[in-house]
Chain A
Amino acid sequence: MRIRQFIKDFMQRPGPVYARGGGLVASEKLQQEYQRIRQHLLQHSSDGIVALCLEKDYRYLLCLLACMEIGLTYIPLRKEWPASRVEQIRHLSGFTMLLTDEMIESILAGQLELVSGEGFAIAPEKPLYIMFTSGTTGEPKGAVIERRSYENFLDWLAEYFPGITAEDRVLNSTDYTFDVSLVDIGLLLVKRPHFFLSDFRDDFFRLLGELDAYRISVIATVPNNFSMMLSDRLAGRANLSPLRHVLIAGSRFPFSLYKAFRKHLPQAHVYNCYGPTEATIYCIAKALSMDETADLVGQNVSIGTSIRGCDVLLLDQELRPVAPNQEGEIYIGGVQLMRSYLNNASETERSLCVIRDRRYYRSGDLAFRDDKGELYVIGRADDTIKISGQRVNLSDVEAYAQRFDYINGAAIVAIPHEHKEYLMHLFVVLNRAREPYEILADLKGVLLKHQLPHKIKVLDNFPLNNSGKICKKTLMAAYCPVD
């Protein structure tokens, strides 16, 4: 019930919300539009699922809040996604309503029917949202997150960041299809800061411009954005002195970024947070002291310890706890653990396991624990990489490519890259002529932006290893020069 109450309180006396572009949205306008959207959604069946596919601006935010408040499970979608991806999600989830900008316009213009009411009966276990993430076989997986999971996260936000107040200025820079955006929404609800909708669109100059122009003091984002903004070529372009709290998550925190924070943003409190979508945003966190002896082991930056309500184990392949300073895989249990992948029993069974009668998520992230009990992520146990904080499973991309009838075989290799995180090279063997740019155009129709390969190479045949599988090492050695 607390999410409902937080949102009701907020909408009764809204904090300052600034639309994309920086204009303050009047409280009365926020309230009126919220009420109309809410009343429209109330006509929906309480056990239905609403998919949201809008331009990212304050109305998208209002739709999210309305779903959360009245108790309708929502799926965030992105307008720029290929239609085929939306169709896949419709097929997998059976969502019963698709809310678009055009519908919102009609609702606000009074052209659609509205009803009033208190909202649906809600249990803590009711799904709050379903967040789709990279699968492994050419189909995305929808992590079902319950209300009680996000409530735990809100409680953590409220107590872990006593220094963030209503005076702060939060930039909502991540897309609503990426769960880091729920950090910003959580802060909106529990801290009531000035809330700015970003027009970032993956343009670092724009992000710097917004941080400067809006005098942003709090941001939650991925390491790569700050790696770029604090690089020697960009540092000093914007006044970042108001930044006081920087929450970093989504990918490994590079040592070079640690040094850059010390050099360029010494006034900021920097937090290294960790959490897969399946464990509701962050489940491990560390407030970095910027003292190397307290934050680092070698060049590994600590992610700290589990947050309230979360239970984190570090296990070997036989599910036995590993000793301090030994490598193991991160398993996550506790109240923030997802219920399942929606309508996907096999993936759920593969990802969740029961240890001593408790459910855990097998993260695929390899880490070690130091003598103080703090965790350090050092790699992956599978062929998943992170690009801008978003998971990309290489087998998944290959599966999408192989669906084109002119592709006989596809193999993708990812080479670590200083600025781009990874360079993805897709190798294909074709059964009829097709140029790499044509293949890329086809892939754009089915893959998300961060899943697209950077280079495509057409081969006559794949090199094979002794067991007859494609030898990716040979491909890398032959075709992927190190920059």
Chain B
Amino acid sequence: MSSTEVMSRLSRLFQKVFEDGSLIVNEATTARDVENWDSLNHLELILSVEEEFGIKFSLGELQDMKNVGMLAQSIESKLTG
């Protein structure tokens, strides 16, 4: 799966989880940039990503993620690894 496709699917997931069809995310996006990115939406987002891509993150991997770009990279490496 290409990086573009990962980001595109991620964007759709963000729109669904945050209930905002106009939400656009990029690699630099962080929790501070998205309204309502609270603990429960964060949980929902990660679980949705895991389901969407058929992967599972370790707790350590999740703690290291600082922005959407790192999330996308982690997804790609799991899909290719």
A479: chain B residues at CB < 8 Å are none
B1: chain A residues at CB < 8 Å are none
A419: chain B residues at CB < 8 Å are 40
A238: chain B residues at CB < 8 Å are 59
A209: chain B residues at CB < 8 Å are 59-60, 62-63
Q: Answer yes or no: B24 CB below 8 A from chain A CBs.
A: no
Nearest A residue to B59, CB-CB: A209
**B36, B43, B46: which contacts A228 (Cβ < 8 A)?**
B43
Q: Answer yes or no: A79 CB below 8 A from chain B CBs.
A: no
Size class of the contact patch on chain A: 20 to 34
Minimal beta-carbon separation of B53 from chain A (angstroms): 16
Which residues of chain A from 407 to 437 have a CB within 8 Å of any chain B CB?
Answer: 419-420, 437
A213: chain B residues at CB < 8 Å are 59-60
Chain A, interface SS category: helix
Bound-state CA distance A447–B62 (Å) is: 29
B59: chain A residues at CB < 8 Å are 205-206, 208-209, 212-213, 237-238
Asked whether B36 lies within 8 Å of A203 as measured between CB atoms, the reply is no
Q: Answer yes or no: B79 CB below 8 A from chain A CBs.
A: no
Bound-state CA distance A202–B36 (Å) is: 13
Q: Answer yes or no: A204 CB below 8 A from chain B CBs.
A: yes
Asked whether A206 lies within 8 Å of B35 as measured between CB atoms, the reply is no
Q: Answer yes or no: A233 CB below 8 A from chain B CBs.
A: yes
Q: Answer yes or no: A454 CB below 8 A from chain B CBs.
A: yes
Q: Answer yes or no: A440 CB below 8 A from chain B CBs.
A: yes
Knowing A228-B43, A233-B47, the reply to whether A205 touches B38 (Cβ < 8 A) is no
Q: Answer yes or no: B77 CB below 8 A from chain A CBs.
A: no
Bound-state CA distance A202–B39 (Å) is: 5
Minimal beta-carbon separation of B65 from chain A (angstroms): 10
Minimal beta-carbon separation of B32 from chain A (angstroms): 11
A212: chain B residues at CB < 8 Å are 59
Which residues of chain A from 181 to 219 have a CB within 8 Å of any chain B CB?
Answer: 202-206, 208-209, 212-213
Asked whether B42 lies within 8 Å of A203 as measured between CB atoms, the reply is yes
Minimal beta-carbon separation of A440 from chain B (angstroms): 6
Nearest B residue to A436, CB-CB: B35
A204: chain B residues at CB < 8 Å are 39, 42-43
**B35, B36, B40, B46: which contacts A205 (Cβ < 8 A)?**
B46
Asked whether A437 lies within 8 Å of B39 as measured between CB atoms, the reply is no
**Which interface residue of B46, B59, B60, B63 has the most chain A CB atoms within 10 A?**
B59
Bound-state CA distance A234–B47 (Å) is: 9
Knowing A228-B43, A233-B47, the reply to whether A202 touches B62 (Cβ < 8 A) is no
A206: chain B residues at CB < 8 Å are 59, 62-63
Tell me the B residues contacting A by CB distance below 8 Å: 35-36, 38-40, 42-43, 46-47, 59-60, 62-63
Q: 7 shortest A-B CB distances, which residue pairs?
A: A209-B59, A202-B39, A205-B62, A209-B63, A420-B40, A204-B43, A206-B63
6 contacts between A and B (CB under 8 A): A209-B59, A213-B59, A233-B47, A237-B59, A238-B59, A420-B40
Q: A205-B43, A205-B46 are in contact. List 18 more A-B contacts (CB 8 A).
A: A202-B38, A202-B39, A203-B39, A203-B42, A204-B42, A204-B43, A205-B42, A206-B59, A206-B62, A208-B59, A209-B59, A209-B60, A209-B63, A213-B59, A228-B40, A237-B59, A419-B40, A437-B35
